[in-house]
Structure 1
Amino acid sequence: MSLAAAPDAPSPATNAPEVITLGCRLNAAESDRIRAMLDGRGDMVVVNSCAVTEEAVRQTRRTIRRLRRRRPDARLLVTGCAADIEREALAAMPEVDTIVANADKLAPASWGAGHNAAALPPLKMHQGSSTAATPRTRGFVAVQNGCDHACTFCVIPQGRGQSRSLTVPQVLGEIELHLAEGCREVVLTGVDVTSWGHDLPGAPALGTLVAEVLRAFPALPRLRLSSIDGAEIDPLLEDLLAGEARVMPHVHLSLQHGHDLILKRMKRRHTAAQAIALVARLKARRADIAVGADLIAGFPTEDEAMHRANFAIVRDCAVVHGHVFPFSPRPGTPAARMPQLDHATIMRRAAELRAAVADTRARWLGSLIGQPLDVLAENDGTGHAPHFAPVRLPPGMRGGAIVPLRAARVEDGLIIGEQA
């Protein structure tokens, strides 16, 4: 699962309830539901935590301490993955009043709420605020939760449990709500999105869901997928990624590494050659498809030759949207018991790998100069092209529409767009 820290909400009034989200988009979607269940209770502060790396846990602790200093009289509750995986350590913090198990975070009783769960808002997340003049832009729909795999480095199954899928009608119902609020792009997300359907009758594959979404909403202009596992891409999904104009030309792959022995020790289900072949097939059919990837630097037993293989996979798959994670041992995982590299080596390799991705990305952005781009204008003066290239909008342009622009130049990692 690809992770990005969700920004803190603006500081509330002294007596307002507050929910701070750390970690993934799914956490952010769940925080919306928690916020609705707080029922206006101003004495409640909730940290929806992340535990995917040691740094994520440190950030959770820092956030707890900061909130306690700012809200000394509030009741401070902690939920999320770290609340399960680091339960004893977090419960021992003097700032914490209560731990709410991750599995219980969407239960109204956990927050002292009297809601009927069926009456709560749907589990969804938007990007951008909404007003009559600036409608919402992108809607995130969590189609799946949990993970059935056992990657040796990953602690997420401990915090999220087994894979559970929304049914097709449930997904369509949530998308309909997003479109009613003005969203022009829908993103299907989850912990292990490509495992969607494995637990449903008939075990449909993700391609079936994507096809149903496109069929049900012919006016939906843009459909995007969050991080996917290349080993689970079914033939229909590959066809839609390669040939359907409304499915965005952007795949973010859970690659993790470029060396086969490390992939085996991670218990990944693909080889480097298979990942390269997948990208080659997609690019042969859709030349503008942009590739993102999650990559881990400094995995246990990684030597310099294996580290260089990570550079090779960045080059061979033309990774332009890269998330590089320095390896950190997570409690209870097999990788934590493997021979570890020293911290300085891990951080050096992560920095070198980030530099390799940055170089590939810079050359890609430069290659787009002069090209026309259909950009989804968001409410902060930026937007994204179909292949997820970030674009600075012309001054005064409002969010909420898909606008034709021309890529004029690149500044600070952003394409500067001008009227086409």
Structure 2
Amino acid sequence: MYYYIFGKVIFMSEAKKTVGIYTLGCKVNQYESEAIGELFAARGYEILPADELCDVYIINTCTVTAESDRKARQVVRRAITRNPDAFVLVTGCLAQTAAETLARIEGVDFVCGNTEKCAVVDAAERLLASGCKNVHAEVRVASLEGAPFEPMRIQKFDRTRAYVKIEDGCESHCTYCIIPKARGAIRSKKPSDVLDEVRALTENGCREIVLTGIETASYGRDLDGYALIDLLEEVDRISGIGRVRLGSLDPSLMKPKFLERLASLSSLAPHFHLSMQSGSDRILNLMKRKYNTAMALESIERLREALPRVMLTTDMIVGFPTETEEDFLETLAFAKRAEFLMIHVFPFSGRRGTPAAAMSGQVPMEVRRERAARLASLEASIRRDILDREIRERPVCEVLFETCKNGYAIGHTDHFIEVTVKTNRDLHARTASVRFLTTDGNTIEGEEI
């Protein structure tokens, strides 16, 4: 077997070379890793779990918090320790913002940023052809200014649910967030490319599509007269389409006409992620968010009127600089009123180069952690109440099953409630009617009808 690369014929041994891809962070990273994996597979490589012995390791990093940075470095070092002879290539958001730091880790061969993630494939083949690890890592990180949308697509997905990246970049420049520096300006994928990709996944048996991006709600802002709702309507018309889930929504989008069109979509799952970050107007203003709590609650009320079964999830940062106990209590009160099914709680993590990291009034870490625990406790209580209500008021629901193990099938309703059913039947990738029986506060246990 051989490949023609960069003007040279490269021969490979008959035994397939192996690649392990480790993904940290968001759904966009998961999509991009899947696309990179398909490129390797198309060239004859075997994709293995990243914790196995591989010839090549790709680490797709995240930098949203200091903990994300620490974990990324840890994963890189573990790959090097697992197989010191393997070629180690690092990409993603930490690679974009701190390439030299990663390049200095002994054993790293190649670092590239977010403008050309797929470069890891050709780089890996060059390294394999040479047979020698780099003494000093090759670094390829370009400026994000004016960067186009990097062409990527997937045709299959190992799980029942497939992510499709429709947008990259963010221009909100919230004071706590480093992601605009890691991802650049908003770039939308061409509608025709999105539709082709969703159509192919549907034809290949994918039962649920999640449209995702760095700032998904901004899709189309750089397109002429074409908005997110236009794309959703076209996706909805694809023959054989299953569930379509939208990665996130912004309160500023939820105007009456938008919600009217949203409610008319037959394939759309009634579950949305609202990235609130705080329930205190003073803190939201310091964060430079685009809304206050009154606007958000009004948007949530409109959304629930348009889609009565809708479930909402959110992110919350606690311990933002100068946050007082009163501010935090406002966040707790907001969370109760909004009734989020899940709240991803983050103690504030100052990111170097962001305005929030340099603000006075930094909240002690022990206070941040204590507030995070209190909000997580409230979240658990709210979720328990929601699940109990679902069992009482909507005891039968359609569930798409994703995994089967140890005598249980596990899946999700369209509004993103996790359901387990005791069964020896293989329900993977199947939809079944389930009668809800009981809950442990996290999932609902039911029986197949």
Conservation of the 8 A alpha-carbon contact between 2:202 and 2:242: no
1:316 matches 2:337: yes
**Partner residue in 2 for 1:43:** 55
| CA-CA distance at 1:99 after TM superposition | 1.4
Q: Secondary structure at the match of 1:252?
A: strand
Q: Secondary structure at the match of 2:316?
A: strand
| CA-CA distance at 1:242 after TM superposition | 3.8
Kindly report the root-mean-square deviation, in angstroms, between the aligned alpha carbons of the 2 structures. Answer: 2.2
Conservation of the 8 A alpha-carbon contact between 2:256 and 2:302: no
1:171-250 equivalent positions in 2, closer than 5 A: 171-202=194-225, 204-217=226-239, 219-233=240-254, 235-250=256-271
**Partner residue in 2 for 1:9:** none
TM-score for the superposition, normalised by structure 2: 0.82
**Partner residue in 1 for 2:23:** 21
1:69 matches 2:78: no
| CA-CA distance at 1:184 after TM superposition | 1.9
- Tell me which amino acid in the other structure corresponds to 1:104: E
Structure showing greater radius of gyration is 2
Q: Secondary structure at the match of 2:192?
A: helix
Residue 30 of structure 1 is aligned with which of 26, 29, 32? 32
Partner Cα separation in structure 1 for residue 287 and residue 175 of structure 2: 5
| CA-CA distance at 1:282 after TM superposition | 1.7
| CA-CA distance at 1:112 after TM superposition | 4.0
Conservation of the 8 A alpha-carbon contact between 2:170 and 2:214: yes
- Tell me which amino acid in the other structure corresponds to 1:325: F
Partner Cα separation in structure 2 for residue 125 and residue 157 of structure 1: 29
**Partner residue in 1 for 2:133:** none
Residue 302 of structure 1 is aligned with which of 323, 329, 340? 323
| CA-CA distance at 1:234 after TM superposition | 5.3
Q: Secondary structure at the match of 1:103?
A: coil
**Partner residue in 2 for 1:400:** 429
State which drifts further: 137-146 or 38-47.
38-47
- Tell me which amino acid in the other structure corresponds to 2:34: D
State which drifts further: 337-346 or 82-91.
82-91
Q: Secondary structure at the match of 2:422?
A: coil
Q: CA offsets per residue over residues 347-374 of structure 1, 9 Å max, x none?
A: 1111111111111001111112251111
Q: Secondary structure at the match of 1:59?
A: helix
- Tell me which amino acid in the other structure corresponds to 2:444: I
1:417 matches 2:439: no
Conservation of the 8 A alpha-carbon contact between 1:243 and 1:286: no
- In structure 2, the CA distance between the partners of 1:207 and 1:127, relative to structure 1 (3 Å rule), is farther
1:105 matches 2:90: no
1:253-402 equivalent positions in 2, closer than 5 A: 253-339=274-360, 340-369=362-391, 371-380=395-404, 381-397=409-425, 398-402=427-431
Partner Cα separation in structure 1 for residue 219 and residue 257 of structure 2: 14
- Tell me which amino acid in the other structure corresponds to 2:61: S
- In structure 2, the CA distance between the partners of 1:275 and 1:90, relative to structure 1 (3 Å rule), is same
**Partner residue in 2 for 1:81:** 93
Partner Cα separation in structure 1 for residue 265 and residue 253 of structure 2: 19
- Tell me which amino acid in the other structure corresponds to 1:326: P
Partner Cα separation in structure 2 for residue 196 and residue 230 of structure 1: 15
Conservation of the 8 A alpha-carbon contact between 1:168 and 1:209: yes
Task: Name structure 1 gaps, 5 residues minimum.
Answer: 1-12, 115-119, 129-136
Conservation of the 8 A alpha-carbon contact between 1:91 and 1:99: yes
Q: Secondary structure at the match of 1:319?
A: coil
State which drifts further: 316-325 or 232-241.
232-241
**Partner residue in 2 for 1:10:** none
Percent of aligned pairs sharing the same letter? 36
Partner Cα separation in structure 2 for residue 237 and residue 93 of structure 1: 49
Q: Secondary structure at the match of 1:201?
A: coil
**Partner residue in 2 for 1:57:** 69
- In structure 2, the CA distance between the partners of 1:95 and 1:348, relative to structure 1 (3 Å rule), is farther
Q: Secondary structure at the match of 2:446?
A: strand
Conservation of the 8 A alpha-carbon contact between 1:21 and 1:28: yes
Partner Cα separation in structure 2 for residue 260 and residue 144 of structure 1: 29
Q: Secondary structure at the match of 1:404?
A: strand
- Tell me which amino acid in the other structure corresponds to 2:398: D
Partner Cα separation in structure 2 for residue 33 and residue 221 of structure 1: 21
Q: CA offsets per residue over residues 55-83 of structure 1, 9 Å max, x none?
A: 11111111111111101111212110011
| CA-CA distance at 1:178 after TM superposition | 0.9
- In structure 2, the CA distance between the partners of 1:267 and 1:223, relative to structure 1 (3 Å rule), is same
Q: CA offsets per residue over residues 101-158 of structure 1, 9 Å max, x none?
A: 22121235444479xxxxx972477362xxxxxxxx2221111111122111111111
- Tell me which amino acid in the other structure corresponds to 2:438: R
| CA-CA distance at 1:231 after TM superposition | 1.8
**Partner residue in 2 for 1:5:** none
| CA-CA distance at 1:298 after TM superposition | 0.8
Q: CA offsets per residue over residues 375-400 of structure 1, 9 Å max, x none?
A: 11113321111110000133124111
- Tell me which amino acid in the other structure corresponds to 1:57: D
Partner Cα separation in structure 2 for residue 127 and residue 405 of structure 1: 24
Task: Name structure 2 gaps, 5 residues minimum.
Answer: 1-14, 47-53, 128-150
Conservation of the 8 A alpha-carbon contact between 1:208 and 1:237: no
Partner Cα separation in structure 1 for residue 296 and residue 185 of structure 2: 25
| CA-CA distance at 1:91 after TM superposition | 2.0
| CA-CA distance at 1:34 after TM superposition | 2.3
Residue 153 of structure 2 is aligned with which of 100, 122, 134? 122
Conservation of the 8 A alpha-carbon contact between 1:16 and 1:43: yes
Q: Secondary structure at the match of 1:379?
A: strand
Residue 166 of structure 1 is aligned with which of 179, 189, 203? 189
